[in-house]
Amino acid sequence: MLLCICKGVSESHVKAHVSQGVCTMQKLSCQTGLGTQCGVCRKSARQLLNQMVATNPTTIASGVSAG
């Protein structure tokens, strides 16, 4: 399912980045372009990001670009 229509970023794309250590909206936007056009997707993306960080803190903490 597309999360960011403007940039063509899917939910699975976001999950892949988060599982590799991306844990902030700023990094997610920099790496995917998500939320950098109309911004409608930001709320949903933030909820997904927060949910993933809350449920997988050790996986995310060991990621390559955490922090």
22 vs 34 by CB, closer to ligand FES: 34
- Is 47 one of the binding residues for ligand FES (CB under 6 A)? no
Count of residues in the chain = 67
- Is 57 one of the binding residues for ligand FES (CB under 6 A)? no
User: Please, what's the b/e burial string for 1-12 (b: 16 or more CB within 10 A of its CB; e: otherwise)?
Assistant: eebbeebebeee
Q: Near ligand FES by CB under 6 A, which window of 10-18, 19-27, 34-42, 55-63?
A: 34-42
61 φ, ψ (degrees, to nearest 5): -65, -25
Contacts with ligand FES, residue ranges (CB under 6 A): 4-7, 34-41
